[in-house]
Amino acid sequence: MKKDSLKGIVTALKQEDCVILIGSGISVWSGLPSWKLLLDKLAGFMEKCGIDSSLVKREIADGDLLQAASYGFDRLTKPQITDFMTSACHYGEAEPHEIHKKILDLGVKCFITTNYDKLIEMGIEKWRTKEPAMVVTNRQLSEMGRILQARAENFVYKPHGDIEDVESIILTREQYRSLLLHGERHMALETLKTLMVSRPLVCIGFGLKDPDFLYIRDILSNIYQGNVRDHYAIMADVEEGEADYWERHYGIHLVGYETRMESDGSRSHAPLLELLETLHDELHGILLKEENGKKEPDRTQSEIILALMRYAAGFRKYEKAETEFGIHIYRDSIHTKGFCIDKYNGSLVERFLTDNESRAVLVGAPGAGKSYAMRRAAASIAQELNDKCLEGSGFSDKTMPFAKNMDFRQIVVPVYIDLKLYDGDLEGMIEKEFSRTLPSEKVIGECRCKIFLDSFNEMPKQYWDNGKYLEDFKKVFAGSKHTECVVWIQRKHI
């Protein structure tokens, strides 16, 4: 393994918003089946039930595991599917392995797993009793919203379902289709995408040909087009040419370990345990140095750029509608003194929201599309931010304080705040939009920011009626010389 790869994955793991994505290879250590073995078991289960399994076996032999699962589940009743899955996943019997403990010892608090079993959750309960994790499946919309917050931690997200809720399981081609646009579980896929592109990511327990890993590869490739630099995958027996190919074409760094030949001809993955120990020791050493130094370490230029890219990627959740109706804006002549020429008067709202460099209040009727326009403007600015970061990703990698020798005022950082959720602390709401890797006070203090305050008149009554919000807002904007703000309010409240 190259030293650069080790340094890179350690840097990703020490970020407080890092996510570890766990594949089926980790559950194999606890005696659970691999993808192929699971389907072999499915064929055997069908035969025991007196059901022809020839189609399932044929697709397994052809390597189309999704179609094999589709043929099998199509012939089973719901009770039979439940019986098969609980038996195949050794539900109530399997226990977390030493490898689960070594993964947890890395200190990461956020997990995604494509596995249906409860092993990582059981490991957290066993070895992290003071840090319980929230388990979220693809059928829990409100919980998905909670883990999408930039500073969310201590969660296990299971986009493919959980053995305790068989209805949530995604295994067949038809079930995967439900994750696509307009599918009933589309938000589960969008949550997965947002988590993967807005946080440092380390994959473990996958093979290069695993359907789940290929799916993840395509998501990252479509979004980042090979430019991402802090997504890592720990893989067995990776050749140098493979690592180079995946880094250049998909932006994924493969961190390899060599398996060992056993006397029975099988390959031992014990070196993976040794690699995890090495990563733990490296992380522990860094944390000790930072603790002894008693100050937050300076971020490198590359870390800053990557953090900004991850932040920008989070705005992808504000998707463009298939059909849009343009909204035109006009200057309010009643509140304007004297003659005034405004280049935005009569223009589309998108142009004003993205190009205007002054603070503004927009007034519109309920249902006019104000919130959609604001979110899309923020997403558009975020895309420009991402593009600027890509242009600057060739900067030197010397350690330096935030923004030193870098003109970050040439970029605009969007912030979208829904004031329906206002809690009396606007500064705190803005802070929660940024990860700890990218402190909001640094961004607002040293970058150009455009803050979109939506639903102004819909903030909670206790703050609106007595004007309590005024002093809070003044505190935020008083010292923000490079901050632009756009407030949108319903016409009846002006």
CATH assignment at residue 453: 3.40.50
Domain count for the chain, please give it. 2
Residue 115: inside a domain: yes
Shared-domain flag, residues 175 and 278: yes
Domain end marker among 256, 276, 293: 293
Predicted local confidence at residue 3, as pLDDT? 58
Residue 43: inside a domain: no
Shared-domain flag, residues 150 and 105: yes
Shared-domain flag, residues 102 and 246: yes
How open is the CA angle 105-107-109, to the nearest 5 degrees?
120
Shared-domain flag, residues 309 and 457: yes
pLDDT one-digit tens code per residue, 34-72: 889 999 999 999 999 999 999 999 999 998 999 999 999
Q: Is 9 in contact with 253 (CB distance < 8 Å)?
A: yes
Predicted local confidence at residue 339, as pLDDT? 46
Per DSSP, the three-state class of 195 is helix
Does position 395 have pLDDT exceeding 60, yes or no?
no
**Residues spanned by the domain of 359:** 302-493
pLDDT one-digit tens code per residue, 134-163: 999 999 999 999 999 999 999 999 999 999
Shared-domain flag, residues 308 and 273: no
Among 113-117, 255-259, 420-424, 455-459, the range scoring the smallest mean pLDDT is 455-459
DSSP 70: H
Per DSSP, the three-state class of 468 is coil
Q: How far apart are CA 296 and CA 312, in angstroms?
A: 24
Q: Categorise residue 90: left if φ over 0, alpha if ψ from -120 to 50, beta otherwise.
A: left
pTM of the model: 0.83
Shared-domain flag, residues 324 and 267: no
Residue 308: inside a domain: yes
Shared-domain flag, residues 233 and 353: no
Among 192-196, 243-247, 344-348, 453-457, the range scoring the smallest mean pLDDT is 344-348
Per DSSP, the three-state class of 368 is coil
Shared-domain flag, residues 331 and 264: no
Shared-domain flag, residues 156 and 212: yes
Shared-domain flag, residues 308 and 187: no
Q: Which helix (H) or strand (E) holds 311?
A: helix 301-313
Does position 123 have pLDDT exceeding 80, yes or no?
yes
Residue 60: inside a domain: no
Shared-domain flag, residues 101 and 155: yes
Shared-domain flag, residues 317 and 460: yes
- Encoding tokens for residue 166? 């068989």
Domain end marker among 261, 276, 293: 293
Residue 457: inside a domain: yes
Q: Which helix (H) or strand (E) holds 361?
A: strand 360-364
Amino acid residing at 242: E
Residue 74: inside a domain: no
Q: What is the mean pLDDT of the chain?
A: 85
Predicted local confidence at residue 440, as pLDDT? 87
- Encoding tokens for residue 271? 């070196």
Residue 77: inside a domain: no
pLDDT one-digit tens code per residue, 162-173: 999 999 999 999
Domain end marker among 269, 293, 317: 293
Residue 288: inside a domain: yes
Does position 74 have pLDDT exceeding 70, yes or no?
yes
Predicted local confidence at residue 226, as pLDDT? 54
